[in-house]
Each structure stands twice: as C-alpha cells, then as structure tokens.
C-alpha cells in the first residue's frame, strides 16, 4: 500500500510545530510498512489533487494567509471537486480559516476563503491562546483531543458540524464552546501543538479513511503508543483535575 500526502504551502503555513503532523503521518505509515510519498504543493503549482490521498494545510500569519488565499483561487475548482469525491483533508488554524468563506481582519482587509466549509472568521481584539482540550465524540466515547491554540480570528459555523466541544481553552471563537469543523472527510481545527503526535488515534483515523478510499476497507495494525498515550494522559490529568471528568 502507498499513501500520497499533499503538503500544501509548507513555505508559508507552518506554525507551532504543524510540520510535525506530516512527520507523524509518515512515521505511522512506515512503522506499518506502508509506503509514503510527501508531495509539497507550493504557490503557483498546478495541482488537480486526483492522486492525493491525504491533504494537509497548516496555520499561518495573516500576511501569509493573504498570499495563500490568492493562490487558492487557482486551485479552488479542483480542490472542491476532490473534496466532494471524498479526499481526506486536515487543516489547522490559518489553513482552516481559509476553507471557510472568508477571514475578515478589518472592514478594509478581508481575506477570501474557498467556501468548502460553511463558516466565516472575523478577527477579535484579543488573541485566543493557550492549551486546549476538546471532547471529541467522533473518535469514540470519552475521547479527547489535546493541543495548543493561538489565533485572533474567531470562526463561526453556519450549517456545518463542529469537530468537538471545548472543555479547556477557546476553540472556534471563545463563545459557543465549539471547536473545529467537519464536512465529508474534511477536518478543520485550531489545534496546533502539533496535533497528530499528541493525538495518535486521530492520526490513525485519518490514515484509515485515506487508505480505505483507495484500497477498500483497510484495517491498520495497532502501534506501540505507550509514550504517546502517557503524554496525553498527563496533559489531561493536569488540566481536567478540577473538572471531575473521566477519561
Ligand atoms: N493568522 C490567523 C489568526 O491569528 C491564524 C493564526 C494561526 O494559524 N495560528 O487568527
């Protein structure tokens, strides 16, 4: 089996360890003897996304998001088609914002998104920053995602589902307790950290749906995740101890 990962704008969207997500996906495939190709997709590249199995977009500063937004106009049609066909896409923070309709930094400065997600983002007047814990039922009962967020954009969902519910931290906007967004096989989230090494079950879920789309139902052999699980458990214990939540 072979997985082709499309890494979009590695030169512009790579904040707070986002590249670690690519490393985690690659390692978790290699440990299972699954071949991996990482295809970097940069500004100006002509890409039809047809033979990409898993696409990744990291976070970025406002000025870099502006450059990406311009370039995405040329890729938008093919990307929307690929998503409708079931492409797996993980987008973090700045990348997530650009999958929505727009990111309004000010009345005069609005960055266009590609509208895959029925959501929009407006800049707030304080940064939403810190550790974050999200209850993530899509990963199973009593499942959590842990990470770190740092954004001033506040994202509001219209007719689409959140990834989970904020337990600690701010999430999409610091107001409605919603975090991230899911549409088909597209997952948008504010969790940096990097997300996937900290949450290996989410990494495996993404690998599974990407490979199953290409090869039919794929079952991944479990990996030895003792350190990953201990790290996550320590994080949850530290922040949830006052919340009396079981995990
Ligand atoms: N520039 C965006 C914001 O501040 C996204 C930041 C990020 O990707 N961490 O909201």
Tens place of pLDDT per residue across the chain (247 aa): 999 999 999 999 999 999 999 999 999 999 999 999 999 999 999 999 999 999 999 999 999 999 999 999 999 999 999 999 999 999 999 999 999 999 999 999 999 999 999 999 999 999 999 999 999 999 999 899 999 999 999 999 999 999 999 999 999 999 999 999 999 999 999 999 999 999 999 999 999 999 999 999 999 999 999 999 999 999 999 988 866 665 5
Asked if 107 and 137 touch (Cβ cutoff 8 Å), the reply is no
The residue to mutate among 8, 13, 58, 60, having the most atoms of ligand 1 within 8 angstroms of its beta carbon, is 60
Which pair of tokens denotes residue 118?
């029925």
Atom from ligand 1 closest to the CA of residue 121: 10
Distance 124 CA to ligand 1 centre (A): 11
Summarised one tens digit per residue, pLDDT across range 66-82 is 999 999 999 999 999 99
Instruction: Point out the residues that are catalytic.
Output: 93, 192
The residue to mutate among 62, 66, 172, having the most atoms of ligand 1 within 8 angstroms of its beta carbon, is 62
Angstrom distance (rounded) from CA 184 to CA 78: 16
Alpha helices in the chain (DSSP H): 19-30, 62-84, 94-99, 195-198, 200-215, 226-240
Question: How much is the pLDDT for 82?
Answer: 98
Angstrom distance (rounded) from CA 70 to CA 68: 5
- What does the angle CA 96 – CA 102 – CA 104 come to, to the nearest 5 degrees? 110
Q: Give the max Cα distance, the chain.
A: 51
Q: Which residues contact residue 246 at a Cβ distance below 8 angstroms, ignoring those fewer than 6 apart?
A: 142
Q: Which residue has the tokens 């337990």?
A: 167
Length of the chain: 247
Summarised one tens digit per residue, pLDDT across range 81-111 is 999 999 999 999 999 999 999 999 999 999 9
- For ligand 1, say whether the CB of 1 is within 6 Å of any of its atoms: no
- For ligand 1, say whether the CB of 61 is within 6 Å of any of its atoms: yes
Question: How much is the pLDDT for 21?
Answer: 98
Which pair of tokens denotes residue 117?
């997600």
Atom from ligand 1 closest to the CA of residue 192: 9
Angstrom distance (rounded) from CA 218 to CA 222: 13
Distance 97 CA to ligand 1 centre (A): 8
Q: Which residue has the tokens 């360890």?
A: 17
Q: Does domain 2-240 have CATH number 3.40.50.880?
A: yes
- For ligand 1, say whether the CB of 62 is within 6 Å of any of its atoms: yes
Distance 38 CA to ligand 1 centre (A): 24
Q: Which residue has the tokens 């810190």?
A: 130
- For ligand 1, say whether the CB of 93 is within 6 Å of any of its atoms: yes
Distance 109 CA to ligand 1 centre (A): 15
- Is pTM beyond 0.95? Reply is yes
List of long-range contacts for 42-46, beta carbons under 8 Å, 24+ apart: 42/9, 42/10, 42/11, 43/9, 43/11, 43/12, 43/67, 43/68, 43/71, 44/71
Angstrom distance (rounded) from CA 219 to CA 196: 19
Question: How much is the pLDDT for 240?
Answer: 87
Distance 22 CA to ligand 1 centre (A): 19
Atom from ligand 1 closest to the CA of residue 13: 8
Asked if 103 and 97 touch (Cβ cutoff 8 Å), the reply is yes
Atom from ligand 1 closest to the CA of residue 65: 1
Question: How much is the pLDDT for 247?
Answer: 53
């Amino acid at each position: 089996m072979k997985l082709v990962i499309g890494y979009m704008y590695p030169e512009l969207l790579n904040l707070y360890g986002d590249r670690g997500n690519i490393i985690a996906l690659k390692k978790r495939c290699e440990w299972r003897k699954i071949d991996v190709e990482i295809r970097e997709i940069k500004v100006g590249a002509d890409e039809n996304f047809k033979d990409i199995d898993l696409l990744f977009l990291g976070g970025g500063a406002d000025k870099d998001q502006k450059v990406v937004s311009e370039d995405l106009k040329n890729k938008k049609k093919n990307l929307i088609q690929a998503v409708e066909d079931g492409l797996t896409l993980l987008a973090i923070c700045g990348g997530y914002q650009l999958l929505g309709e727009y990111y309004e930094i000010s009345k005069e400065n609005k960055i266009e998104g590609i509208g895959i997600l029925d959501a929009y983002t407006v800049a707030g007047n304080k940064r939403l920053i810190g550790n974050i814990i999200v209850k993530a039922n899509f990963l199973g009962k009593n499942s959590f995602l842990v990470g770190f967020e740092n954004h001033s954009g506040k994202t509001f969902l219209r007719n689409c589902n959140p990834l989970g519910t904020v337990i600690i931290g701010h999430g999409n906007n610091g107001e409605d307790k919603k975090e991230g967004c899911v549409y088909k096989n597209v997952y948008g989230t504010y969790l940096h950290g990097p997300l996937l090494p900290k949450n290996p079950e989410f990494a495996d879920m993404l690998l599974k749906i990407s490979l199953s789309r290409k090869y039919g139902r794929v079952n991944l052999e479990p990996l030895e995740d003792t350190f990953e699980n201990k790290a996550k458990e320590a994080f949850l214990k530290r922040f949830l101890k006052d919340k009396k939540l079981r995990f």
